[in-house]
Structure 1
Amino acid sequence: MALQRILAVDDEPFNLEIIEEILEDLDFEVQTATSGQECLEIVESYDPQVILLDVSMPQMSGYEVCKAIKANPSLSHIIVMFVSARGSVEERMEGYSVGAEDYIVKPFGHSELKAKLLHLGQMLLEKDILEQQIEDATTTAFSAMATSSEMGQIVNFVEQVGTIQDVSELANALINCLANFGLSCNIEMRVDTDKLHFATAGLCSPIVVELFEILHSKGRLHEFTNRILVNYELLSVLILNMPSDDPDKHGRIRDHICFIVSVTEQQLLSILTKNTLINQQRELNSAIKTIHSKFTGLLSMLNNNRSQNEAIFKRLQELFESRIPSMGLDEDQEVFIFTHIDEAIQSSVAREEAIAQVKDAFAEIEHDLCNLTTDEQ
C-alpha cells in the first residue's frame, strides 16, 4: 500500500506548521498531535502509516510514546520516525532500541524529509509484498497439508472398500469416509428393482428420496447452494453441507467426492455381479443335481430293459432247444429257425451296445457339467 496517512507529533505548534506545509505539498494526508498522550489517544482511530514523532516533549517523551506504540500488537506495524534537535549516535541508538525505523534531525529541509518519506513508502510497499508472500506461502502450506490428509483418507477408503462384499456395509463405509471430511450425506443404491436409502442422520427424508427419483438420470453432477448431488448408474449421493466460505476447498472436496463415489459405484457393481454369479451357480448346481437324477433313473430303466430282454431271449432259446427236436422238422427248417433266433439275439446285443454308448454319453455330459461348476467356483 502506498504511503498516504501521516501523524505529526510535536509540542511546538510552529514545528507542526512547517511539517504540515511540507507534507501537504507532497499530497500526504496529515493529522497532528501536540503531546505524546494526545498521540496515543488518536493513533488507533486515525491509523497512520507513519508517525513523525518529536523526541523532547514534556510529561511523555517520544521514546516513551514509541515504546507504547510498539508494545501494542494492533499498532506495532506503524512506522515511527523520530524528529529531534539532537542527532548524536547515542540518541539515534536509543531511538532504534525502542523500535523506531528512522531518525531525522532538526532543522531539516523539504528535500531531506521528502527523500526519507519516499524511502519509508518503499518500505511499506515491500513490507506489503512480503506479508502477501508469507500469507500465500502459509495458505499453500496449509492447503498442501489439508490435501495430504484428505488424500490419506481417500487411500484408506480405497484400500478398505475392495474387501467389502455387502451392500449395507459398503453404504456405511461411504458415510464414514465422507464424515471424515466433515460432510453429511444421503445415499441411494439401486439394487435390482429395489432402491436402498442410507443417511448420516439415519434416514433419508421424503423430499430427498423424491430428489433422487427426479435427478438420478438427469446428469452426473448437480450443485445448489451448499449442496451437491453426484449420480452414477447404481448410486446417487447427496452432500448436505459443502464448504461455502472457501472456494478452493469447495472445489477440492467436490473432486474428492466424485472420485470416492466413482470407486463406491465400481465396488457396488462388483458386489452385485458376484451375487448374480453366486445365484447362477446355485441354479446350475440345482440343475446338475436334477440332470444327474434323471440320468440315473433313465440308465436304471435301460438296465432293467436289458435284463428283461436277456431273460426273454434265454427262455426263448431254451424253449426252442428243448422243443424243436421233437417237432419233426427237417434240417433246413431247424437251420431256418435257429438262424432267425441268432439274428434276434444279435440284434438285442446291438441294442445293448447302443445303451452302453448312451451311458457313456450321459457320463461325459455329467462330467462336463461338474467341471463347469468347479471352474465357476
Structure 2
Amino acid sequence: MESVLVIDDDRLIQRLLGRLLGEHYDLSFASSGEEGVKIAASLEPSVILLDIEMPGLNGYQTCARLRDLEHCMDTPVVFLSSHSSIKERLHGYEVGGDDYIVKPFDAKELFAKISLLVTQSVQRRQLVDSADSAQATAVEAMATSFELGKAVRFVELSYLAKDYDELALQLLRFCNELDLHVALMFITRRGSLFYSSSQETVPPLEADVLTLLHSQQRFSDFGQRTQVNYKHSALLVKNMPAVGSAKYGRVKDVIPFVLGAADTKVRILDAERGLSVQRAELSASIATVNMSLDTLNESFSRNLNTVTSTMSDLVSTLSLELRNMGMEQDQEDWVLDKVENASEKIAACIENNVNTKKVLVDVLDLLQKITSEQDKILQESLNVEQPCSKSQLSGDDIELF
C-alpha cells in the first residue's frame, strides 16, 4: 500500500482525510512543519498533503525543507489552503508545489487528484529504478566487455611468446590491468618456474602453496585468495573480489579462459624445447657416427689392399717355390687351388664388410633426412605467422560488442 503524509495542524482536517483516504493508503500525520520534515525523512511517502498556515514553519517553508531531502526532491506536494489568490498559488509553485487545493475541498476531487499523483509517483519510482538497473547493467556489460577484450588480447599476444618469461610477463600484465595481485607457476620438464606481480621472486611459502594446491580441483578458495589450476600452470589470486560481487563472477569467468590459453602455450614451449634438445643430441650423434664410418671405410680399404697384395704375393711365391719342391703337377695344382680359394673367401668377407658399410651409410642418410625434417618443423613452429603483429597488438584495446 502506498503511503501519504498529511502535514496539517487542524485535527478536524486530519480526521476528515483519514476517513477519505485511510482505506486506500497508508496515512501518516504531522501537526507541524518540523514534525512533517522528520517523518518524511524516514517515511519516503508517495504524496504529501501540506497545509500552508501552521505555527512554526509555514507550508511554503516546509515545502522548501522537503525539497532539500534527496528522496523527497520529486515527491508530489499538494498545498491545502483557505486562500486561493494568484500570488499564493505562484508562491506555492515557486517553492516546489505540484498542486493547490482550496479549503473547503470537494472529497471526490481531492481523492481523484491524490490517486493520480500516487500513480504518477509510483511510475516515476519505477522509471528511476529501471534507469538505475539499466545503468548498472550497462556498467556491468562495459566492464565485462573490457575484461574480455583484454583476455582476447592476451591470447593473441601469447601466440608470439618465445619463452616462459615473456609469456609470464604478458599474463602478469593482464592481471595487473584487472587490479589483481597474483603469483604464477609454470610446470615444465626442467622443473617449476615461479613469477609474481608484486616482487621479483616468489616467497618460498607462496611457492609451496602453489605447488600443494596444484593437485586439487580447478578452483581452490581460501579467505580472500583463489588458486586456479591447469596441468602445466597455476595462478594464485591474492586479492580476490568478495564472493557474490559482480567482479567476483567476472574474474571467475575470465581467469580460466586466459590461464587455459597460457597452459597450452606452456605445453607447446615445453615440447619445442624438448624437441630442440633432442634435435641437437641427434645431430651430434649423427656427426659422431659419420666420423666413425669414415674411419671404418678407410680401414676397410687399407685391409682390402693389404690382403689382396699379400695373397697375390703368396700365389706368386708358391708358384715359384712349388717347382723347386719336386712335386707332381697335380699336387702343385691342388695347393694353388687351395690358396686361390682361400684368397677368394677372404676377398668375399672383405666385400661383405664393404656392403655392411653401405647399409650404415644409408641409415646415416636417413637419420640426417629425419633431422632436417625435424629442424624444419621446429623452425616453422617457432616462426609461425600470427593474425597480427606484436606492435599492432600492443596498441588500442580490443573492443567487444
Q: Within 5 Å, give how 1:203-282 maps onto structure 2.
A: 203-244=201-242, 247-282=245-280
When normalised by structure 1's length, the TM-score is: 0.83
Q: Which moved more, 1:202-211 or 1:261-270?
A: 202-211
Q: 1:366 to 1:252 in 2, by over 3 A?
A: same
When normalised by structure 2's length, the TM-score is: 0.79
Q: Which runs of 5+ in 1 are unaligned?
A: none
Identify the residue that residue 127 of structure 2 maps to in structure 1: 130
Which of 61, 64, 78 is the matching residue for 1:81? 78
Which of 337, 340, 345 is the matching residue for 1:347? 345
Task: Name the CA distance, whole Å, in 2 between partners of 1:341 and 1:188.
Answer: 76
Query: CA offset at residue 88 of structure 1?
Result: 9.3
Query: CA offset at residue 226 of structure 1?
Result: 2.4
Q: What fraction of aligned residue pairs are identical, expressed as a percent?
A: 27
Residues 291-327 of structure 1: CA distance to partner in whole angstroms, max 9, x if unpaired? 2222222222211210110110222233245445555
Identify the residue that residue 119 of structure 1 maps to in structure 2: 116
Letter in 1 for 2:369: N
Identify the residue that residue 148 of structure 1 maps to in structure 2: 145
What is the RMSD computed on CA atoms of the aligned residues? 3.5
Query: CA offset at residue 55 of structure 1?
Result: 6.5
Identify the residue that residue 381 of structure 2 maps to in structure 1: none
Task: Name the CA distance, whole Å, in 1 between partners of 2:148 and 2:80.
Answer: 57
Task: Name the CA distance, whole Å, in 2 between partners of 1:215 and 1:43.
Answer: 55
Q: 1:138 to 1:278 in 2, by over 3 A?
A: same
Q: Within 5 Å, give how 1:299-338 maps onto structure 2.
A: 299-324=297-322, 328-338=326-336
Task: Name the CA distance, whole Å, in 2 between partners of 1:41 and 1:133.
Answer: 28
Q: 1:231 to 1:68 in 2, by over 3 A?
A: same
The answer to whether the 8 A contact 1:13-1:34 is kept is no
* Higher relative contact order, structure no. (Cα contacts within 8 Å, ≥ 6 residues apart): 2
The answer to whether the 8 A contact 2:32-2:57 is kept is no
> 1:201 aligned to 2:203?
no
Letter in 1 for 2:263: E
Task: Name the CA distance, whole Å, in 1 between partners of 2:66 and 2:11.
Answer: 23
Task: Name the CA distance, whole Å, in 2 between partners of 1:232 and 1:42.
Answer: 59
Query: CA offset at residue 164 of structure 1?
Result: 1.5
Query: CA offset at residue 331 of structure 1?
Result: 3.8
The answer to whether the 8 A contact 2:6-2:28 is kept is yes
Task: Name the CA distance, whole Å, in 1 between partners of 2:243 and 2:68.
Answer: 34
Residues 229-257 of structure 1: CA distance to partner in whole angstroms, max 9, x if unpaired? 11222322110112217622211211111
Instruction: Give the length in aligned residue pairs.
Output: 374
Task: Name the CA distance, whole Å, in 2 between partners of 1:375 and 1:224.
Answer: 49
Query: CA offset at residue 104 of structure 1?
Result: 3.3
Query: CA offset at residue 153 of structure 1?
Result: 0.4
